[in-house]
Structure 1
Amino acid sequence: MARFLKNREESKGQSPGALIFIGEKKTTSVQARVIDYDSTILTEQELSHIKDGSHFKQTNTVTWLNINGLHDIEKIKEVGQIFDLHPLVMEDILNTGQRPKVEDFNAYIFIVLKMIRFDTETEMIFNEQLSIVLGDNFLVTFQEQPGDVFEPVRKRIRRQKSRIRGSGTDYLAYSLLDTVVDNYIHIIEVIGEKIEDLEEMILEGNDTTVMEKINAFKREINYLRKSIRPAREAILHLSRLDSDLFQESTIPFLKDLQDLINQATEAIDTYRDLLTDQLNIYNSVMANKMNDIMKVLTIFAAIFIPLTFIAGIYGTNFEYLPELHYKYSYAVFWTALIVIAGALLVFFKRKRWL
């Protein structure tokens, strides 16, 4: 399956809001987990059936429902019915190739981002879609597969005296977004170190795989850029929303989040430009090495041109060549060749061509 675009063959010609899963099935079954809390109580529960968590919506506590797996359309549809989600929202949740964005539906805010991870063995970036529905007292997250970057947030929720336990769903949403963006920056730093290490390899000019590595990192940086630049627009939009779902005390945190995503975007652009510069340096180094080789070959050719000329004259088939009958002609011939070659070497050395 293509990395930059998802195959939308099945959705062609369908009406808006049609529920069709677009993407790759990454887990065998849909898993649901709920965390319900306030400043005094905390409940964590794995749900065997989605409907088992419907009663949490009626409580005054903060409810975080996390769904792993999007391929089971009926179960995702059941979540949408419980939380009264718009059909277009459901369609976007099931489309794992959705562009990062933020939409305000008054009763809730719909957020789409990409969670990314870096495989150190293949040195490739992989992403999965994260959809967040933020309501007044509930927050629902949809992921393509189990395993995420949210464990630090869960640990903070389990600590009774943490800020998150005394805050609402808006601060929980901020915490999840902050964790995603922090992960962006971490992965950019990891890739950045590898990109910077390429410069020494380029200048040495001994590694024949440098060009391949530069092109590979350019591809991964572009893939990363495709996920993070739209996320920057989405977070900027979120920080400017005039919504009652965000308390005044949470707005400064969103502004800080905006600074972090700007930092991530600028770092990507910096490393993208650096890779372009490294490619130019590599081409210059290779061109200089080729020029050095050609210079040596040219010098040898220049030395042998007069030697070949002299050898050619005395290699002719004329019957009368006076020098042929001279007793020391052979020694004189070699002396002349050596003197001419030596004189040319000295000349090239003084010109600093050697």
Structure 2
Amino acid sequence: MIPFQPYSFAAPTTEETDYFDYFYDEPGSEPGTLNIEPTAKPSRIILIDYDENDAIRKVDMTPNALLPYLGKNSISWMDVQGLGSEDVLREVGDIFDLHPLLLEDIVNVPQRPKLDEYQDKLMFIAHMVRRHEEEDGFVTEQVSFILGKNYLVTFQEEELEDCFDIVRERIRNNQGKVRQQKVDYLAYLLLDSLIDGYFPILEHYEERIEDLEEKILATPERKLMQEIYSIRRELLALRRLLWPLRNVLNLMIRDDSDLLTQEVQIYFRDCYDHVIQLLDILEAYRELASSLMDVYMSAVGNKMNEIMKFLTVFTAIFNPLTFIVGVYGMNFENMPELQTRWGYYIVWVVMLFIAVTMILIFWKKGWFKTTYSLDEK
């Protein structure tokens, strides 16, 4: 048996991330056309077949090798990793009798999360999220589920590790009751793992918002405003993924299909509650991110007020000194002070006395105490 690998991801660069990209067909294209991306990974099929007594895992399966498992009483999970091999995908579609429009939604990514029922199969689409390894933000991957009588087919964009490893471990080690349940329970476990993957992402945004708020209060630089817009945009993209998923789960817990038992529909209600919780947290963070702009503008205003206060105090000190210098700079002949031997020094003493007195008065009134701190970097 091939060992299960630890959770790992490779993250694309920010330039490759488009949070608001949905696939659309070219005008006039034939329905069911598969558009394979040139950068799509080659398709690789991994099979996990299990019952109460045993579980096997096979990799690099061919589509025809899956046929014997369709008629078995055991539960079969066929995981297709990579959407770059059109021949393999069409063979899988023929074996499982997938409607051309259904296969089109699976291959032409990304699609909006949705639920469709085709004859004796149930198809639903969700999006798995993960953080960038080296940058802020997140990346998404579409995961499509085909639920049959005794089988579950999943389609992923990448052939790398995913958030389903914990489910694979449960199957392999016979933990919990997954091997005693039907295939709809397996679909629940996978979808629940996918939804739980959103919580670490939102925790990261909480940390980013708190850190950004501290930076804004310390040094309201222009680049921080750009980061505020980035956070708001990314949170909006997360909402765009979760809101339709909420509708999908709402339909699943009310579906009267024979593929979803009432017992498992109760578990899907738990997934629905998790999505509602995620949306509540998300809306709170969106409001915090929006308020950061007000904090930024207030911080900039406070900084400007401190600068204006300093200039005002500076001007107030030098105004009487400028007046004295201006008086004795007039070109009149009958100015008695100009003939005084110590007049120059007297004027200096008077000017210094006025300046020091005003500084002491301003200091006592607290006008030199700043209400805005600038952290040096």
TM-score, L = length of structure 1: 0.91
Q: 1-side partners of 2:229 and 2:38: how far apart? A: 26
The residue that corresponds to 1:3 in the other structure is 18
Say which of 22, 30, 34 aligns to 1:15: 30
Q: Is the aligned partner of 1:339 residue 2:374? A: no
1:275 positional shift = 1.6
Q: 1-side partners of 2:129 and 2:337: how far apart? A: 84
Partner amino acid for 2:52?
S
Partner amino acid for 1:221?
L
Q: 1:212 to 1:4 in 2, by over 3 A?
A: closer
SS at match of 1:341: helix
The residue that corresponds to 1:279 in the other structure is 293
Q: Say if 2:76 and 2:151, in contact at 8 Å, map to a contact too.
A: yes
Q: Is the aligned partner of 1:66 residue 2:109? A: no
The residue that corresponds to 2:265 in the other structure is 251
Say which of 155, 158, 175 aligns to 1:145: 158
Q: Say if 1:111 and 1:131, in contact at 8 Å, map to a contact too.
A: yes
Partner amino acid for 1:200?
E
Q: Is the aligned partner of 1:225 residue 2:236? A: no
Q: Say if 1:62 and 1:137, in contact at 8 Å, map to a contact too.
A: yes
1:196 positional shift = 2.4
Q: Is the aligned partner of 1:107 residue 2:120? A: yes
1:133 positional shift = 0.6
1:26 positional shift = 4.1
The residue that corresponds to 1:203 in the other structure is 217
Q: Say if 1:211 and 1:279, in contact at 8 Å, map to a contact too.
A: yes
Q: Say if 1:192 and 1:271, in contact at 8 Å, map to a contact too.
A: yes
SS at match of 2:232: helix
Q: 1-side partners of 2:229 and 2:348: how far apart? A: 54
Q: 1-side partners of 2:366 and 2:209: how far apart? A: 36
* Structure 2 residue runs without a partner (length 5+): 1-15, 369-377
The residue that corresponds to 2:337 in the other structure is 323
Q: 2-side partners of 1:161 and 1:343: how far apart? A: 82
Partner amino acid for 1:197?
D
The residue that corresponds to 1:43 in the other structure is 56
RMSD: 2.2
Q: 1-side partners of 2:82 and 2:359: how far apart? A: 75
Partner amino acid for 1:40?
N
Write the deviation string for residues 187-221 of structure 1: whole angstroms up to 9, x where unpaired.
21233233223333333338875444433333332
Partner amino acid for 1:19?
L
Q: Say if 2:23 and 2:111, in contact at 8 Å, map to a contact too.
A: no
1:132 positional shift = 0.5
Say which of 182, 192, 197 aligns to 1:183: 197
Q: Say if 1:6 and 1:96, in contact at 8 Å, map to a contact too.
A: no
Q: 1:7 to 1:24 in 2, by over 3 A?
A: farther
Q: 1-side partners of 2:291 and 2:231: how far apart? A: 13
SS at match of 1:241: coil
* Higher mean displacement: 165-174 or 234-243: 234-243
Matches within 5 A, 1:283-294: 283-294=297-308
1:345 positional shift = 3.0
Q: 2-side partners of 1:151 and 1:8: how far apart? A: 28
Write the deviation string for residues 51-78 of structure 1: whole angstroms up to 9, x where unpaired.
1112211212111100011122221111
Q: 2-side partners of 1:6 and 1:286: how far apart? A: 35
1:129 positional shift = 0.6
The residue that corresponds to 2:249 in the other structure is 235
The residue that corresponds to 2:130 in the other structure is 117
Q: Say if 1:115 and 1:180, in contact at 8 Å, map to a contact too.
A: yes
Q: Say if 1:11 and 1:20, in contact at 8 Å, map to a contact too.
A: no
* Structure 1 residue runs without a partner (length 5+): none
Q: Is the aligned partner of 1:164 residue 2:178? A: yes
SS at match of 1:34: strand
Q: 1-side partners of 2:158 and 2:289: how far apart? A: 32
Q: Is the aligned partner of 1:79 residue 2:111? A: no
TM-score, L = length of structure 2: 0.86
* Higher mean displacement: 75-84 or 185-194: 185-194
> Percent identity, aligned pairs only?
37
SS at match of 1:47: strand
Q: 1-side partners of 2:35 and 2:361: how far apart? A: 78
1:110 positional shift = 0.7
Q: 1:310 to 1:50 in 2, by over 3 A?
A: same
